[in-house]
A and B are shown apart, each in its own frame.
Chain A
Amino acid sequence: MGIQTPNGFNLDNSGKRIVVDPVTRIEGHLRVEVNVDKNNVIRNAVSTGTMWRGIEVILKGRDPRDAWAFTQRICGVCTGTHALTSVRAVENALGITIPENANSIRNMMQLALQVHDHLVHFYHLHALDWVDVVSALSADPKATSALAQSISDWPLSSPGYFKDLQIRLKKFVESGQLGPFKNGYWGHAAYKLPPEANLMAVAHYLEALDFQKEIVKVQTIFGGKNPHPNWLVGGVPCAINVDGTGAVGAINMERLNLVTSIIEQSIEFVEKVYVPDVLAIGSFYKDWLYGGGLSGKNVMGYGDIPEHANDYSAANLGLPRGVILNGNLKEIFPVDHTDPEQIQEFVTHSWYKYPDESKGLHPWDGITEPNYKLGPAAKGTPTNIQELDEAGKYSWIKAPRWRGNAVEVGPLARYIVGYAQGKPEFKEPTDEFLKKLGVPVTALFSTLGRTAARALEAQWAVRKMEHFQNKLIANIKAGDTATANVDKWKPEAWPKEAKGVGFTEAPRGALAHWIKVKDGKIENYQCVVPTTWNGSPRDPKGNIGAFEASLMDTPLADPQKPLEILRTIHSFDPCLACSTHVMSEDGQEMTKVTVR
């Protein structure tokens, strides 16, 4: 039976149902069900995921100055981004400003996390959707070397280098311990790279694994430790003492030089390895432009990376802020996090209870009350679902909407908003990238577009890190070493009641925390995270979310091995903070694909 959704998709659930559970190589537990027509083209898509049950349960009654440390534990990936969002929310509520140096340092920590996450996502979680590891074993090392040298002057590219690597890989595969390469659909018809490109990509997979640890050092230097770096309401927790030598905690010249060197190395790796690889891989998949989903229609960015401290208006933000609706790039709507009519979360199709579920709730008034029940047409039992009923409640993810619209968030959304704003730092690299591939701008609205935007953004981010490092050093040289504002540190200086909002652009999209403070303690705390936007189920009007939309009309080469579904879902870099990770001691968790 066909249904037309208000956001322009034709859903037909009459065909064969395919259940993919879980979608691997993502954070948390995500399950996807699709219906395919007789040509194995997806005609209906349903995504359902786990989500934490609301941080307010844990934060209520605690000190707002500690909230960042708790939110850092929600998820293992966006730790620092959650912490930054949290300190911004508290500062916004209590009217606390931060020094310019703190802004520069926070930006560098956030950008470092962005680059780190994008790099690891591409090589270690997403590349294997495009790269066939087993095929790399049959590559000719000499031809691989020629290929590598034709796309970049990165020095690790000799025939001997690729030969050694191939031998190592072969040993690893033959040992039967595939480790990170297990559960792959190796040999699948949807893999298009020649063996040489596969070998080059596997080499860079390992190099990226080795290199990513350098970028993290930025967190260690400025945040005092890693994992779980320190943050501070009112600034950053590190003192600056340029003349100091080896003093514990204080940032001296030696540490600043280390940051400069890490940034230089990151620029080199991103520009000589990451971006050329995405371009090279993309050139073999130019005719696979599925997965656009909502990106050509509705996208949203909150914006981030303030140039000057304490100004979160769109004009002061490096990453773009605004909403585009119905693919109209000529009109960009401003976002107001405090307007109860703009951002609202719906639970009509989510396993939560509201007094009136036809209406959405603004996060300041958010409620997280579980209500687990399956729709009448669901198959299986509540503890062993075989098939969901998307007409009923079917996900632990709420459905956030901007003025009632489902929107996509993330690097592609940011690049589309930046492109539409005509900002040269987003438009020019995008146009150049598209030109090199020989594809039109509409090619951006695709799975590959998301992957490309992420790579371009990593390049933007490393250059921006350089900018803030220079700014920090110039400021210190001018005699300003302030890193924290403690004027309102003590609760006595706070209003009796206050509310605030903090926002960032997490690697995978727009993130915001809403806080209410009463008598010096947290009264309510709500987070709306990027994957809630992208992974949301249907809303009361029937709009489908970004994951669901992105799967529509994609042909599957082999429904038993739905590589195309993994590829598109991974392109969002999903992050569903997990409910529980412990599995039985011998239960290998494999993706189960059921065709009904």
Chain B
Amino acid sequence: MRTLVLGIGNILWADEGFGVRAVEAFHARYETGPDVTVLDGGTQGLYLVQFVEACDRLLVFDAIDYGLEPGTLRIMRDADVPRFMGAKKMSLHQTGFQEVLAAADLLGRYPSRLALIGCQPQDLEDWGGPLTAPVAAAIEPGLSVAAQILAEWGVDFRPRGAEARERLLAHDLDHRHYERRPRGAEEETRP
């Protein structure tokens, strides 16, 4: 049984980065067995189909507009996942994740278990900005929910004994370094 723990979204658009930041935090916190892939899917859209079709169990972190209080988590399971991701357009020419799932289905390889940990964003317009406080605060409870679901599925994972040898995101794109600059820096660059 293969498991994919996937984060999707664009880190350059503030809270749009929730999914990627959550999976990055998951990777920093937990080590996983050989049958588990932890993936920063970015905005790869249809190109993610090969990862999706290769797994039996799929856990996705993503920012989704539910019209709730910013930072609110909503968990979807199994058949509700494609239903609630239908309108969410990702990259690769606006392929929704629903279409990625449909493509995996068409290929005859659809995960048997699905879970979506969605977070209500506050700000999607702040180009280059950090996660807003309520969304950043949702990562920790998001990880708890993920751990619960994965445990329920019997997935092989455990807290890391030592720091990971490689971070999921590097080259100054990791969460801490990406956001290290004061907010004023953006203003300074504007002519």
Instruction: Give chain A's interface residues, CB within 8 Å of chain B.
Output: 22, 24-28, 52-53, 56-58, 60-63, 66, 68-70, 73-77, 79, 120-121, 124-125, 168, 172, 177-180, 206, 209-210, 212-213, 216, 227-228, 367, 369, 575, 578-589
A57 to B189: give the CA distance in the assembly, Å: 6
Complex contact A52–B12 (CB within 8 A) = yes
Smallest CB–CB gap between A443 and chain B, Å? Answer: 27
Select which of B43, B108, B127, B170 is within 8 A of A581 by beta carbon: B43
**A180-B102, A580-B16, A585-B87 are known contacts; what are 9 more A-B pairs with Cβ within 8 Å?**
A56-B189, A58-B12, A69-B173, A73-B11, A79-B44, A179-B101, A209-B49, A578-B91, A587-B87
Known contacts: A209-B107, A587-B87. The answer to whether A76 contacts B92 by CB under 8 A is yes
A575 to B92: give the CA distance in the assembly, Å: 8
Q: Which of A75, A125, A581 has the most CB of B within 10 A?
A: A581
- From 30 to 45 in chain B, residues with beta carbon under 8 angstroms from any chain A beta carbon are 39-45
Q: Which of A24, A56, A58, A168 has the most CB of B within 10 A?
A: A58
Complex contact A585–B92 (CB within 8 A) = no
- Check: B191 CB closer than 8 A to any chain A CB: yes
Complex contact B189–A70 (CB within 8 A) = no
Complex contact B128–A76 (CB within 8 A) = no
Known contacts: A53-B127, A60-B185, A580-B13. The answer to whether A180 contacts B99 by CB under 8 A is yes
Which residues of the partner chain B approach A26 to less than 8 Å between Cβ atoms? 93-94
Complex contact B106–A206 (CB within 8 A) = yes
Complex contact A585–B91 (CB within 8 A) = no
Complex contact A228–B10 (CB within 8 A) = no
Complex contact B65–A582 (CB within 8 A) = yes
Which residues of the partner chain B approach A52 to less than 8 Å between Cβ atoms? 12, 127
Complex contact A227–B93 (CB within 8 A) = no
Which residues of the partner chain B approach A125 to less than 8 Å between Cβ atoms? 93
Which residues of the partner chain B approach A589 to less than 8 Å between Cβ atoms? 87, 89
Known contacts: A24-B94, A73-B11, A369-B190. The answer to whether A582 contacts B16 by CB under 8 A is yes
- Check: B3 CB closer than 8 A to any chain A CB: no
Complex contact B45–A76 (CB within 8 A) = yes
Complex contact A57–B127 (CB within 8 A) = yes
Closest 4 CB pairs of A and B: A179-B102, A76-B91, A76-B43, A69-B171
- Check: B103 CB closer than 8 A to any chain A CB: yes
Complex contact A588–B94 (CB within 8 A) = no
A22 to B89: give the CA distance in the assembly, Å: 12
- From 176 to 191 in chain B, residues with beta carbon under 8 angstroms from any chain A beta carbon are 181, 185-186, 188-191
Can you list 5 pairs linking A and B with CB atoms under 8 Å apart? A63-B172, A73-B42, A172-B106, A227-B44, A585-B66
Smallest CB–CB gap between A382 and chain B, Å? Answer: 14
Complex contact B47–A216 (CB within 8 A) = yes
Select which of A57, A69, A74, A581 is within 8 A of B172 by beta carbon: A69
A341 to B188: give the CA distance in the assembly, Å: 28
Complex contact B125–A581 (CB within 8 A) = no
A183 to B154: give the CA distance in the assembly, Å: 39
A589 to B50: give the CA distance in the assembly, Å: 25
Complex contact B107–A179 (CB within 8 A) = no
Complex contact B93–A585 (CB within 8 A) = no
Instruction: Give chain B's interface residues, CB within 8 Å of chain A.
Output: 9-13, 16, 39-50, 63-67, 82, 84, 86-95, 98-99, 101-103, 105-108, 121, 124-125, 127-128, 170-173, 181, 185-186, 188-191
Smallest CB–CB gap between A126 and chain B, Å? Answer: 10
Select which of A61, A69, A177, A581 is within 8 A of B10 by beta carbon: A581
The residue in chain A whose Cβ has the minimal distance to the Cβ of B91 is A76
Smallest CB–CB gap between A81 and chain B, Å? Answer: 14
Complex contact B87–A179 (CB within 8 A) = no
A60 to B91: give the CA distance in the assembly, Å: 25
Complex contact A60–B88 (CB within 8 A) = no
Complex contact A77–B93 (CB within 8 A) = yes
Complex contact A27–B94 (CB within 8 A) = yes
The residue in chain B whose Cβ has the minimal distance to the Cβ of A52 is B127
Smallest CB–CB gap between B137 and chain A, Å? Answer: 19
Which residues of the partner chain A approach B48 to less than 8 Å between Cβ atoms? 227
A388 to B84: give the CA distance in the assembly, Å: 33
Smallest CB–CB gap between B37 and chain A, Å? Answer: 11
Q: Which of A24, A77, A178, A206 has the most CB of B within 10 A?
A: A77
Select which of A179, A367, A579, A587 is within 8 A of B106 by beta carbon: A179
Select which of A69, A168, A583 is within 8 A of B65 by beta carbon: A583
Complex contact A76–B107 (CB within 8 A) = no
A584 to B64: give the CA distance in the assembly, Å: 7
Select which of B64, B101, B186 is within 8 A of A582 by beta carbon: B64
Known contacts: A52-B127, A585-B67, A586-B87. The answer to whether A120 contacts B13 by CB under 8 A is no
The residue in chain B whose Cβ has the minimal distance to the Cβ of A584 is B65
Which residues of the partner chain B approach A582 to less than 8 Å between Cβ atoms? 16, 63-65, 88, 121, 124
The residue in chain B whose Cβ has the minimal distance to the Cβ of A583 is B87
Which residues of the partner chain A approach B44 to less than 8 Å between Cβ atoms? 76, 79, 227
A583 to B85: give the CA distance in the assembly, Å: 9
Smallest CB–CB gap between A199 and chain B, Å? Answer: 15
The residue in chain B whose Cβ has the minimal distance to the Cβ of A574 is B93
Which residues of the partner chain B approach A70 to less than 8 Å between Cβ atoms? 12, 172-173
Complex contact B128–A58 (CB within 8 A) = yes
Complex contact B90–A76 (CB within 8 A) = yes
A228 to B95: give the CA distance in the assembly, Å: 18
Smallest CB–CB gap between A122 and chain B, Å? Answer: 12
A583 to B86: give the CA distance in the assembly, Å: 9
Complex contact B127–A588 (CB within 8 A) = no
The residue in chain B whose Cβ has the minimal distance to the Cβ of A224 is B166
Q: Which of B91, B93, B103, B188 has the most CB of A within 10 A?
A: B93
A108 to B102: give the CA distance in the assembly, Å: 31
Smallest CB–CB gap between A276 and chain B, Å? Answer: 22
Q: Which of B41, B121, B127 has the most CB of A within 10 A?
A: B127
The residue in chain A whose Cβ has the minimal distance to the Cβ of B121 is A582
Complex contact B172–A73 (CB within 8 A) = no
Which residues of the partner chain A approach B41 to less than 8 Å between Cβ atoms? 227
A69 to B102: give the CA distance in the assembly, Å: 30
Complex contact A27–B67 (CB within 8 A) = no
Complex contact A179–B16 (CB within 8 A) = no
Q: Which of A27, A180, A580 has the most CB of B within 10 A?
A: A580
The residue in chain B whose Cβ has the minimal distance to the Cβ of A178 is B102
Which residues of the partner chain A approach B16 to less than 8 Å between Cβ atoms? 580-582
Which residues of the partner chain A approach B63 to less than 8 Å between Cβ atoms? 582
A173 to B68: give the CA distance in the assembly, Å: 34
The residue in chain B whose Cβ has the minimal distance to the Cβ of A202 is B106
